[in-house]
A = this chain, B = another copy of it.
Amino acid sequence: MTYPLFTKHEDTLQKALAAIETRGYWSPFTEMPSPKVYGETANTDGEAAFKSHLNRTFELDQPATTETVGAEVSPFGFPLGIRYPKADVNALIAASTRAQRDWRAAGPKAWVGVSLEILSRVNRASFEIGYAVMHTTGQAFMMAFQAGGPHAQDRALEAVVYAWDQLRRIPADAHWEKPQGKNPPLAMRKRYTVVPRGTGLVLGCCTFPTWNGYPGLFADLATGNTVIVKPHPGAILPLAITVRIAREVLREAGFDPNVATLLATDPNDGALVQDLAQRPEIRLIDFTGSSQNGTWLERNAHQAQVFTEKAGVNQIVIDSVDDIKSAARNIAFSLALYSGQMCTAPQNIYVPRDGIRTSEGPLSFDAVAGAIAGAVQKLVADPARAVELLGAIQNEGVTQRIDEARTLGRVLAESQTLEHPAFAGARVRTPLLLQLDAATDGAQFTREWFGPISFVIATDSTAQSLELAGEIAAGHGALTLSVYSIDDAVLEAAHEASIRGGVALSINLTGGVFVNQSAAFSDFHGTGANPAANAALADAAFVANRFRVIQSRVHVEPKAVPA
């Protein structure tokens, strides 16, 4: 057997193996939308490719009915008008099941080779996918390109390499020979076959369809499963383009393209998803979305391995700082980036009510809160620059939530509606920052307020801040925790709080790294140790149960001579 696609990408795979072991910086996919890397016309070609999808039916040669679905609307203010072939769920599952046999038999090197070839072609489509992500999620273009393109591809490759790191440990066969004293030894040849679970279901979200969708999709493919991708009805296009590329590669490699299929749906597809998620053929589910839906899957899709990322309450503990300005600037950026619509964006900022220490002397609570509010306002003061950071609000639910939140406490920074210079109808809002109190407002700040909504919360002490941080993370979930302190004992206590809360900790971020950012191959995204996610991107546990090993054994001639 030869595995040309495996061989083609083996060098990347080896580097990725080294990267997950050392966890230093590494990425094979260029994050800058550079013409030198992606081609002089890549941007205009990508934008044209995106525009060519608008107001027509997306071509996808998979089992489908004659009907179409699709109701995506750009958060920048226009309907995409894209219709997708409507799949019959039974026919799709049947096609996915039929595709299993040859795909399963092809084995780990074929699965991994095909996965890497798909990824390399997805990388070439980064501009097209970037515009698709922009106009479904509301991310500004640079972020849509980076997070939806190369960074998502990094996370996909990470899932593939974790899968390979486990698969490569299983020998294809073994000679087993047990001494029997003076009698001839017992000898057997054993054969180990890696057997995928079956069909995986990837349930995408509307804010990071590729970044959050790729790990499950590529982990499934790299472990030999077939996969049905069901995007969020509000963000179908990025995953539709991805699935189409996957099908091209599969077909060229001689496989049934129905190894990867798309299930596009109209809005309000909850009942359809619940039915599908409990089908016996669905053996793996990767979900990103609400806690309600994620928990439902964990408790009801018993026939499947279920991987979920759900809601959480991300927190910042401010104990003391060298320089409040750089801390406030960094925090403000984290609040404003994609209008706080990142699962990693901070919400609760704890500051002792008696103020904090800085290298320039003490600073009152109000001064700290004011510094953060001021930094947010400065960051969004120029609408033309602000929209490149804020992007647009993905859906009306978020703008309604801003209105609802406004009454919770004293407004430190008001959420304003901005005009987008390029897109007249864009739904743009600046961050809302409120003041709350740990003593009285726990009912509000212990739940997620998804969107550009955050709270500066007065606490009795840093000790209380850290206690809240650990408790809320453990009880309500969290993907990030950030601490500012110039006191080593506090940093150690913050480390303990992060352990208790099962949440990743960032310390004294004042420069070009933001708490929302999580780098593949180095940062684990999610821990699986609190309610925000039952898995991490990516680790051994994310891949090791997506396949099983079936062995056979038969007697052979011993190699040793009797003792």
Contact surface of A with B, Cβ cutoff 8 Å: 20-25, 104, 165-166, 169, 171, 174-180, 186, 188, 190, 192-193, 195, 197, 298-299, 302, 495, 498-499, 502-513, 519, 522-524, 527-529, 536, 539-541, 544-545, 548-555
A550, B21: Cβ atoms closer than 8 Å: no
Q: A169-B21, A502-B195, A513-B188 are in contact. Are A549 and B536 (CB under 8 A)?
A: yes
A24, B550: Cβ atoms closer than 8 Å: no
Chain B residues whose CB sits within 8 angstroms of the CB of A539 once the complex forms: 544, 549
B551, A511: Cβ atoms closer than 8 Å: no
Q: Which of B175, B190, B522, B555 contacts A190 (CB 8 A)?
A: B522
- Shortest CB-to-CB span from A478 to chain B, Å, is 11
B169, A509: Cβ atoms closer than 8 Å: no
Chain B residues whose CB sits within 8 angstroms of the CB of A188 once the complex forms: 513
- Shortest CB-to-CB span from A100 to chain B, Å, is 11
Chain B residues whose CB sits within 8 angstroms of the CB of A195 once the complex forms: 499, 502, 527, 529
Question: In the docked arrangement, what's the CA distance between A165 and B505, Å?
Answer: 26
Q: Which of B23, B177, B299, B498 contacts A24 (CB 8 A)?
A: B177
Q: Which of B23, B25, B510, B550 contacts A504 (CB 8 A)?
A: B550
Question: In the docked arrangement, what's the CA distance between A536 and B192, Å?
Answer: 13
A499, B193: Cβ atoms closer than 8 Å: yes
Question: In the docked arrangement, what's the CA distance between A113 and B165, Å?
Answer: 25
Most chain B CB within a 10 A radius of its CB, from A499, A505, A527, A553: A553
Q: Which residue of B lies closest to A542 (CB)?
A: B544
A552, B505: Cβ atoms closer than 8 Å: yes
- Shortest CB-to-CB span from A8 to chain B, Å, is 26
Question: In the docked arrangement, what's the CA distance between A310 and B166, Å?
Answer: 26
B24, A174: Cβ atoms closer than 8 Å: yes
Question: In the docked arrangement, what's the CA distance between A539 and B195, Å?
Answer: 14
- Shortest CB-to-CB span from A124 to chain B, Å, is 23
Q: Which of B166, B171, B177, B513 contacts A540 (CB 8 A)?
A: B166
- Shortest CB-to-CB span from A460 to chain B, Å, is 25
Chain B residues whose CB sits within 8 angstroms of the CB of A522 once the complex forms: 174, 176, 190
Chain B residues whose CB sits within 8 angstroms of the CB of A510 once the complex forms: 555
Chain B residues whose CB sits within 8 angstroms of the CB of A20 once the complex forms: 169
A549, B523: Cβ atoms closer than 8 Å: no
Question: In the docked arrangement, what's the CA distance between A100 and B197, Å?
Answer: 35
B498, A552: Cβ atoms closer than 8 Å: yes
Question: In the docked arrangement, what's the CA distance between A552 and B498, Å?
Answer: 8
Q: Which of B498, B509, B529 contacts A555 (CB 8 A)?
A: B509
- Shortest CB-to-CB span from A506 to chain B, Å, is 6
Question: In the docked arrangement, what's the CA distance between A524 and B174, Å?
Answer: 13
A524, B549: Cβ atoms closer than 8 Å: yes
Question: In the docked arrangement, what's the CA distance between A178 and B513, Å?
Answer: 10
Q: A186-B513, A544-B544 are in contact. Are A176 and B551 (CB under 8 A)?
A: no
Question: In the docked arrangement, what's the CA distance between A21 and B195, Å?
Answer: 18
Question: In the docked arrangement, what's the CA distance between A178 and B25, Å?
Answer: 6
